[in-house]
Structure formats: C-alpha cells, structure tokens
Amino acid sequence: MLKQYSFEKTAVQTFDDSVSLALKTDNLQVFYGANHAMHDANLEFPKNQITALIGASGSGKSTYLRSLNRMNDGIATVTGKIWYHGVDINEPDVNIYEIRRHIGMVFQRPNPFAKSIRENIVYALKANGIKGKDELASRVEKSLKGAALWDEVKDNLEKSALSLSGGQQQRLCIARSIAMEPDVLLLDEPCSALDSISTVKVEETLLELQKKYSIIIVTHNMQQASRVSSQCAFFHLGHVMEYTPTATMFSNPQIPVTQDYIAGSFG
Ligand SMILES: Nc1ncnc2c1ncn2[C@@H]1O[C@H](COP(=O)(O)OP(=O)(O)OP(=O)(O)O)[C@@H](O)[C@H]1O
C-alpha cells in the first residue's frame, strides 16, 4: 500500500539577496485539463550553478521544467509567475521565441536534424539573422568546444549528425543550444539514452558549462544529481517537497517523504 505523506511539511530553501538568481517561480501550477499536475512550485535558481530536479516517474519534473521556457503553451494551462531578469515571462504578451533564445532546452533523446554537424549549429543562427561567414564559423567552433565535441568532429564538420554516436549527438544538441548564447539551459534527462561513458562526458561538459550558464537538469539518476548539482529539488505527486543543497538532500534529507525516496523505499 502507498504510504501517505503530508504536503504541508516541506523544506524549501530560499536564497538571501547576495545570491544572483537566474530564474524564480512563484506559485507555479500546471493543469492538463482536469489533471492538476503541478501545485504551487516556489523555487529559486541561482546563476552559474546546476540545480537538479529529482523524483519518481510522474511526479511533475518535466512538466515543471517545460513550463520554464513556455514549452507547455498549447498543451497545458500554466498559472503563477516565472521571473527572469525582473520580467514575469509567464505573461501572455511575452515573445516566446525570444524567451527560448535566452532559456534553451535539451531533450531526453538526442534529436539532431538530419543535416551536417555544421548545419545543425548554423540553422537556428541563420534563422535569427546571423549570416556572416566568419561569425557563423566562429560560433560553430565556440559552441562545439563548449559542448566538448570540437576535438572529435573538427576535421569533418560536413559529416551527417546522424552518423555520430548517441553521446556525441547529445553533445551536438547541447552545442546547438549554446550556439544561441542563452543564459539558462534546461535539460530533461539528457543522459537517459546514453551509456555510462557518454554520460560521464556529458556530465563533465555540464560542470564546465555552469561557469557560463545557469543549468536546471531533470534526472532520474540520484548519483548524477549528486555528482553535478549544487542544489536539488525533490518532486512528489506534483508537489515540490524539499529543496536543499545537494549534499544535505543526500546525507540529511529533512522530511519523511524525501528520506524514504533517498533510501530507495519507493519510486
Ligand atoms: N502532454 C501531457 N498531456 C497530459 N498529461 C501529461 C502530459 N505530460 C505529462 N502529463 C501528466 O503530468 C503528470 C506529471 O508528468 P511528468 O512527465 O511531468 O512527470 P515526470 O516526473 O517528469 O515523469 P518522468 O520521470 O517519467 O518523465 C503525470 O500525471 C502525467 O501523466
């Protein structure tokens, strides 16, 4: 029988004014029709750090993540506020394409275009009016270096992206995202389709990227959360139950539901 936990007693950290925030949500709620999938999520994400969202399947992690750059528009009703540089980007008149240039996303399965490695990167740049040959070449090199893929592909940028390994494809997708020079990178279980060696590569890449970007990652893998993140939010049945420094989450979880999850008693 499923154990019942109280949604009243949560442990949610807030940061003091000295911490610069990349994003913050106030009372974020998500409804898929009658399904109230996310309840009152109040979270703050510090700049240039990695924050992990963890929890059992169906707990609302992806729903929450996708709301942050308005990927749920047309799919779900999202209420509450999403603060980005002092602007509530959940307002209807916000330009969502502009938002997605600043808040990029990498999905669970690597999804490069069936084009060359170079074209994968320059496609969105050209669509956004960046046309100079030198500028494009420099952005290709910079983003592939940022995603730790440059050395593996620099001699054959015209090769099809689909001929790369899964791990290389995922790093190409990260490169494609950072080519637009976003501030925030959202990653939805980016390693779930990868083997352990590719996973290590992607994790090393993220640890390097946090110097420049603020990163929010959904992961099922608790070891991954503990390896890469500075703070960790635990989701349960559409509620944020606990949000603490990652070391605290794994060594001294504050409330019973998190203690049971970390101990592997459910999920
Ligand atoms: N596109 C959708 N349409 C309708 N309901 C959805 C949709 N996406 C998610 N849901 C529902 O929202 C709830 C939360 O799902 P979500 O995918 O956010 O959880 P999750 O924690 O990310 O799970 P997982 O780890 O399995 O990806 C579930 O009840 C799910 O069925």
The pick from 38, 62, 109, 221 for probing ligand 1's pocket by mutation, whose C-beta has the most ligand atoms within 8 angstroms, reads 62
State the pLDDT at residue 89. 97
Distances (CA, A) of 54 to 24, 32, 78, 239, 262: 18, 21, 21, 12, 10
**What angle (nearest 5°) sits at the alpha carbon of residue 148, between those of residues 164 and 108?**
60
Per cent of the chain over pLDDT 70 is 99
Q: Is the predicted pLDDT of residue 29 greater than 70, yes or no?
A: yes
How many Cα neighbours within 13 Å face the side chain of 156?
6
pTM of the model: 0.94
Residue minimizing CA distance to atom 3 of ligand 1: 32
Which residue of 38, 53, 61 sits with most ligand 1 atoms within 8 Å of its CB, as the best mutation to test the pocket? 61
Q: 57-71, 76-90, 185-199: lowest mean pLDDT where?
A: 185-199
Residues with C-beta less than 6 Å from any ligand 1 atom: 32, 35, 37, 55, 57-63, 75, 220
Residue nearest atom 31 of ligand 1, based on CA coordinates: 58
Instruction: Determine the average pLDDT of the residues in 75-100.
Output: 96
Instruction: Identify the residue whose C-alpha is closest to ligand 1 atom 8.
Output: 63
Residue with tokens 């539901």: 257
- Distance, CA of 222 to CA of 31 (rounded, Å): 27
pLDDT grade for 39, boundaries at 50, 70 and 90: very high
Q: Which atom of ligand 1 is nearest to the CA of 108?
A: 27
Quote the pLDDT of residue 236: 95
Residue range 57-72: mean pLDDT, rounded? 97
Determine which residue's CA is closest to atom 7 belonging to ligand 1. Answer: 32
- Mean per-residue pLDDT for 26-31? 98
- Which class for 95: exposed (0-12), middle (13-18), buried (19 or more C-beta within 10 A)? exposed
**Does residue 224 register a pLDDT over 70?**
yes
Average pLDDT value for residue range 68-95: 96
What is the rounded average pLDDT of the residues 196-204?
89
pLDDT band at 197 (very low <50, low <70, confident <90, very high): confident
CA of 62 to the centre of ligand 1 (A): 7
Pairing mode, if any, of strands 214-218 and 50-55?
A: parallel
Segment 209-232 shows an average pLDDT of 96
**Tell me: the pLDDT tens digits for 99-121?**
999 999 999 888 999 999 999 99
Span 66-88, average pLDDT? 97
Domains and CATH numbers, the chain: 19-262 (3.40.50.300)
Q: Which of 209, 131, 197, 226 is closest to 173 using CA atoms? A: 209
Q: Which two tokens stand for residue 91?
A: 């307002």
Please tell me the predicted confidence (pLDDT) of residue 179.
94
What is the best residue among 30, 31, 32, 36 to mutate for testing ligand 1's pocket, by most ligand atoms within 8 Å of CB? 32
For residue 90, the model assigns a pLDDT of: 98
Which pLDDT tens digit goes with each residue over 121-178?
A: 999 899 888 889 999 999 999 999 988 899 999 999 999 999 999 999 999 999 999 9
Residue 1, pLDDT above cutoff 60: no
Look up residue 114 and give its two tokens.
């069936």
